[in-house]
Structure 1
Amino acid sequence: MKDHSKIEKINKVVEEYFNTNASLTIVPVKDLMPAFIKAGIFAKDVKKGLPIRLILRELDAEDQLALIPFVHTERHGEHTYWYFVPANVPAPDAPYKQEKKKPENDPIAIRLNSDETYVIALCDKVLSLTSDRQKRFPFLLGDLHKNGKKQTMLPVDAYYEELQLVVEYKEIQNFRPVTGFDKNKDEDEEEEEERTKTVSREEQRRIYDERRAKVLPENDISLVVISYSDFEYDDKNKIIRNEENDLKIVQKALKDFL
């Protein structure tokens, strides 16, 4: 991150915000956009906080998030949710409660109860290991950003360092477009669209899946892909959960690592 003066201004605005609002312990970064604009850090807001998210993602990619000590992230699947918390305060141990969203439409709740989360938990159980979820590697990169210079490190669903193993869970959208699947699009997805408007999200997903399958083995990391179709599933392509049977399916998929 080259413009450290902007980082200093951001820190000053966030610090003043929490000094003024002492009762708050966590706030979505987009809520501070009016204060950032007033301070002259940004000229205007775009896509509900995209300007500040772009800076945070750049710092994240360069492992420099510590430059803004107020940042708190919640990572769910391929999605990152960005918040500010008061400095020197322990990070929240529970997901941020989205007060204005209905529980059934809360993307964090949906992710925590997703088939991906369920299957990776089964993998952890079968392997008797705790996976590093949404692990990113410096050699596994997305396409160039619009500036033609930067690339974002792509996440994997689960990484087992002890086994040098990555497990990817594939839902129906990994195989074909799904109408309405993106209706709860999150912050990272909006930013990705800003970078890849010339490519459909389905095509981008396919390209990145193929990139993982090629690059991981080249770096001596095994890849196991588990699909929704390996399980019994309903008419919405969601797993009909039967843990006893599902564990057997996962054991078969991971047999080479037991």
Structure 2
Amino acid sequence: MKDLSKVEKINKVIEEYLNANSSLTIVPVKELMPAFIKAGIFVKDIKKGLPIRLILRELDASNQLDLIPRVHAERHGEHTYWYFVPASATVPETPYKQEKKKLENDAIAIRLNSDETYVISLCDEVLSLKANRQKRFDFLLGDLHKNGKTQTMLPVDAYYEELQLVIEYKEIQNYRPLAVVDKDEDEEENENTKTLSREEQRRIYDERRAKVLPENEISMIVISYSDFEYDDKNKIKRNKESDLKIVQKALKDFR
């Protein structure tokens, strides 16, 4: 690309947009067209983002796409879909749907946008390593299944093999008061028998991780939503600069 003056302006607009919308983990390039126009980079939008796509195609053809660090190209045969991904988010491993979906009905989007994903991404950045997310160990098992024979391997939020370190992120549900739930009378020979609530089962498995992992020479660090500034829904407000400092302090013995 001969004229790189627009690239600097484009990068500035992208960073400003992503910083102002820190909850986003991926953004179709067309969404930034109003910001690009306001910054004077383009005069008007054409075909929902064509001006920025033309620049990205030109950079791609000349192997200069790295000049825009936040860009992510999703290639499908002859077609390429363009997105911007913030530094705090992981590049999606599964195709991002072009059509707009309701977040509550999109499990992948919910996962990518979760506080857990955000915090583990910060841990990756602090440690300069990439976590093995939802790692399972054959020595870390849940309770026996109803058949009395099999057990499920319990996942951990993040595992860093190089450091023999597990990081668990705890949301508000990990701290809710325990409750006991009655089973239906026709399911029990003794109507006074109780079953564990979801909260109590979660608590038991959290304690099991804390006990079993060190027994297998793996350290475990717990990072809680309450370590950060959070809103009235107990969601992290996501100020990356201050959040990084919190994570750095939590991981000071492993940096």
TM-score interval, smaller chain: 0.5 to 0.7
TM-score, normalisation: structure 2 = 0.55
Deviations 1:209-244 (A, max 9, x none): 000000000000000000000000001000010000
Which amino acid in 1 is paired with 2:232? D
Deviation at 1:100, TM superposition (A): 11
Partner of 1:183: none
Find out whether 1:133 has 2:133 as its counterpart.
Answer: yes
Aligned pairs, number: 149
| Equivalent in 210, 217, 221 of residue 218 of structure 2 | 221
Matching of residues 1-258 of structure 1 within 5 Å: 93-95=93-95, 102-176=102-176, 198-258=195-255
Give the number of the structure whose alpha-carbon radius of gyration is greater: 2
- Give structure 1 stretches of 5+ with no counterpart: 1-91, 179-196
Which amino acid in 2 is paired with 1:210? E
Contact persistence 1:171–1:227 (CA under 8 A): yes
Give me the identity figure in percent: 85
SS of the residue corresponding to residue 125 of structure 1 reads helix
Deviation at 1:139, TM superposition (A): 0.4
Which amino acid in 2 is paired with 1:230? D
Deviations 1:165-222 (A, max 9, x none): 00000000001059xxxxxxxxxxxxxxxxxx93211111000000000000000000
Contact persistence 1:95–1:108 (CA under 8 A): no
Supply the distance in 1 between the matched residues of 2:177 and 2:117 (Cα, whole angstroms). Answer: 21
Question: Relative contact order, CA 8 A, sep 6+: which one is greater?
Answer: 1
Distance change >3 Å, CA 244–CA 140, structure 1 → 2: same
Supply the distance in 1 between the matched residues of 2:125 and 2:233 (Cα, whole angstroms). Answer: 26
Across the aligned residues of Structure 1 and Structure 2, the Cα RMSD in angstroms comes to 2.4
TM-score, normalisation: structure 1 = 0.54
Deviation at 1:105, TM superposition (A): 3.2
- Give structure 2 stretches of 5+ with no counterpart: 1-91, 179-193
